[in-house]
Structure 1
Amino acid sequence: MGVSGNQRGKEVENTHTSSGVRQEYAFSPLNLSLFAKWNRFRSFLVILSKKVKKKVPTTTRTDSKDSVDRDAVLARVESEKRLALIRAWEESEKTKAENRAYKRHNAVVLWENSKKASAEAHLKRIEEKLDRNKAKCVEKMQNNVAEIHRTAEEKRAMIEANRGEEFLEIEEKAAKFRTRGYSPRKYLPCFGSS
């Protein structure tokens, strides 16, 4: 055991590895007690493994039977492993298919919503256009009605003016008949009253 300058107050233990290379480990007093416990545990494991090896029977008949059993167990383990891989693959593929279906469903929903919004906007534009056209038509019809009313008023005024002129003519003729002293003649006596 030697002490280096970097390892003040620590003990260094020299050990040989299985490859023959010498390694140095630094241990503190606390680590030494743990190291001792570890060595005792390791030696216990070595003794235990030797006892287990002694209990294994060495008959060829049981070896062949154990070999067959071991082969059957290995085959069963392989088949279970293969089945587990298949189940995992199946679950993975189902999850992928579910995700693809979910994405496609969402794409259809988005497409539907965009088409509905587009159709509603188009309908709204058509309704606004119809409202504008309706307002124009209503205004045109109201102007037409006003023009008809104005024309009717002008015709009424002309009729009243003509009536007034006819009354004046009749009054003038009546005055002439009175001054001359004869009665008005009928041009077509057959249609007159008796």
Structure 2
Amino acid sequence: MGEELSSKIEPELHSVVQDSVPEEHNPPLQEKESHKPHPPSQNVTTTSPPVQKVEDHAAEKDTEDLISRDAMLARVLTEKRLALIKAWEESEKTKAENRQKHSAVELWEDTKKASVEAELKKIEENLERKKAEHVEKMKNKIAEIHRLAEEKRAIVEAQKREEFLDLEETAAKFRSRGVTPRKFFACFSA
């Protein structure tokens, strides 16, 4: 943007400066006349010289106005160009400073986020590990309960078999003796 602006302003500035430079080097007509030797005093009865002086003075004033206007225009254009350059420079400095601040803030934010995410991941891993340990403990408890249940079933089965064996032995005794068991017919015995 600054290059475009300066490239637009510089041709205008050069044309104005070139136009004004020769005029500045050429002294105004008033100065030329001041260096001229005064004409010998003659009869000043003619009216045309004062008119001519007024016309010369008006022409001198016009050229002075043109020169001063051109110089002023050149000065304004130069100041404008310098102001635009200064504004561009300040803008670029501000952008660079904001980028640095922004990048520093982003770096800080990224660092903090990364540390929090690492901590969260560590906590999640600990929870997963603890969950796995608890699942393992529960499975072990279930396996222990199942083993104890199997042992108790085996004991109950063994006791049942013993009872059946005892009953079979008692029934065999009753058969061999030919006696009926009393408990069985207790409601019928009198």
Above 0.5 in TM-score? Answer: yes
The CA deviation at 1:119 is: 3.2
The CA deviation at 1:176 is: 2.5
2:116 to 107, 114, 119: 119
2:128 to 131, 141, 144: 131
TM-score after normalising by structure 2: 0.61
The CA deviation at 1:183 is: 2.6
1:100 to 97, 103, 115: 97
Question: What SS does structure 2 have at the residue aligned with 1:184?
Answer: coil
The CA deviation at 1:137 is: 1.1
The residue number in structure 2 matching 1:38 is none
Q: Which has the higher contact order (CA 8 A, sep 6+)?
A: 2
**Greater fraction of residues in strand:** 1
In the TM superposition, what are the counterparts of 1:54-133 in structure 2 within 5 Å? Answer: 58-59=32-33, 61=57, 62-133=59-130
Question: What SS does structure 1 have at the residue aligned with 2:180?
Answer: coil
Query: In structure 2, what is the Cα distance between the partners aligned to 1:176 and 1:115?
Result: 90
The CA deviation at 1:187 is: 5.5
Compute the RMSD of aligned alpha carbons: 2.8
Query: In structure 1, what is the Cα distance between the partners aligned to 2:158 and 2:171?
Result: 20
TM-score after normalising by structure 1: 0.59
In the TM superposition, what are the counterparts of 1:1-194 in structure 2 within 5 Å? Answer: 58-59=32-33, 61=57, 62-185=59-182, 186=184
Query: In structure 1, what is the Cα distance between the partners aligned to 2:167 and 2:185?
Result: 16
The CA deviation at 1:64 is: 3.0
How many equivalent pairs are there? Answer: 138
